[in-house]
Amino acid sequence: MMKAKIIVALLAITTFAILYAGRNKVHAAGLLFGNANIQDPQRVHPMADADDDMDDDDQDMDVDVEPNVDADVDVDVNVDVDVDMDSEMDESPDVDVDTEDINVDVEVDDESDMPLREQETITKTFALSGRKLLDVDNVNGSVEIVGGQGDQVQLVIKKTLRAESKERMEAAKKEVTLDITDQSDLLKFYVNGPFRCNCDGKSRDGDNGCSGWRHGDHGYSVTMDFQLQVPRNVDLKVKTINGGHINVRNIAGKFSVNNVNGKIEMQDIAGSGKARTVNGGVKVSFRENPKENSDFATINGDVDLQFVKGLAADFRFKTFNGAVYTDFDMTSLPAHNANVEQRDGKFVYRSDRTSGGRVGSGGPEIKAENLNGSIRVLERHE
């Protein structure tokens, strides 16, 4: 009798686990969300709920994520991850960092799998005349950018190298480089290494294809934390992947900001653009309301947008596990027309499943999307 009870209990537990896994598995390729209820603590705007279905073809981020997962995604960076960032420039690094601008500090940590540790501080200054694009293409580490007056870019990088042996430490110094491109219309900082894939299917260390290089697989890890002071009107293209946040302050140019395992914060912004991450929140505060279409999105985190008085814009919201809150009076917008495709003699209709709201007389389209988290459209009081 006891054996029969145990067998019945095991069967019940197994059945529950299977049902729970099937119920919670969500394929989040492309930030496809539903249930966008626009709310306010004092009033609720009568916006139509979006469809709960997930449309796999409407995608900007190709990331599979379980809902309500807080753990960081361990991104296999050997494929040169680009989260919805159009490549407008050829990868053409021209200049390596001069060693005379580097201070080195060596430490030993016996408790780590990589007991050797070195830190370097890299400093550089660049003249920036006229309108120019600043492109920071990082892999492991944070990026902080502050705008100001003047026509110079001041760069400080805190570089941390860890290795399991002296041989691996020397390999890290040789294989991971900061490549700099300084052209009339472009200043680019590109962190290069064997984790990057080239177009011919060969990685920098000669491996075939883009197979399996992970942070630390070669017996070392390299982190670069960027700090930049730049002219206020510069255009920005910034991304990082692992182990860091992106913080941008006092910028008036266009921006394209992408992260994977980390948050994005932007303060005193006067331009337009997009900011997207996967694991982390997106928080943007405008000192001048955007004049062009803008796009803000995450998978695991909140989207907080602050605008000044006099906002006039058309919003499109998409969320799955969360609600949309607003400080502004908002009227409903009709849903976008479905996209029509013809496949094998059949017509396929696809809807973007967004809820829309107009503030004031309307204006540029501002998209706010997430999977797990709330969306807040707030008025800035400063």
How many residues appear in the chain?
A: 382
pLDDT over 90 for what percent of the chain? Answer: 55
Model confidence at 88: pLDDT above 70: no
Best mean pLDDT range from 190-199, 328-337, 358-367: 358-367
Model confidence at 260: pLDDT above 60: yes
One-letter amino acid of 14? T
| pLDDT confidence of residue 129 | 79
Q: What is the pLDDT of residues 53-72, one digit of tens each?
A: 334 444 343 333 434 444 44
Strands 303-307 and 331-333: unpaired
The backbone torsions φ and ψ at residue 345, rounded to the nearest 5 degrees and listed phi first, read 80, 5
Q: What is the pLDDT of residues 165-224, one digit of tens each?
A: 999 999 999 999 999 999 999 999 999 999 887 544 444 444 444 444 454 568 999 999
- Give the CB-side neighbour count of residue 180, counting CA atoms within 13 A: 12
Read off the pLDDT of each residue in 146-159 and give the average, rounded to a whole number: 96
Q: Which of 2-11, 165-174, 223-232 has the lowest mean pLDDT?
A: 2-11
| pLDDT confidence of residue 346 | 80
Sheet hosting strand 375-379, strand order edge to edge: 38-39, 324-326, 375-379, 303-307, 282-286, 264-269, 246-251, 143-148, 220-231, 152-163, 116-127, 102-108
Res. 345 pLDDT band, cuts 50 70 90:
confident
First-to-last C-alpha distance (Å) of the chain: 72
| pLDDT confidence of residue 351 | 60
- Residue, of 226 and 59, whose pLDDT is higher: 226
| pLDDT confidence of residue 72 | 42
What are the helix (H) ranges across 197-330? none
110's CB contacts (< 8 A; 6+ apart) are none
Read off the pLDDT of each residue in 347-354 and give the average, rounded to a whole number: 69
Closest CA to 313 of 296, 298, 337, 292: 292
Model confidence at 322: pLDDT above 50: yes
- Residue, of 252 and 58, whose pLDDT is higher: 252
| pLDDT confidence of residue 352 | 65
CA distance linking residue 382 with residue 379, whole number of Å: 9
Helix (H/G/I), strand (E/B), else coil: 201? coil
Let me know: does 373 contact 303? Beta carbons within 8 Å.
yes
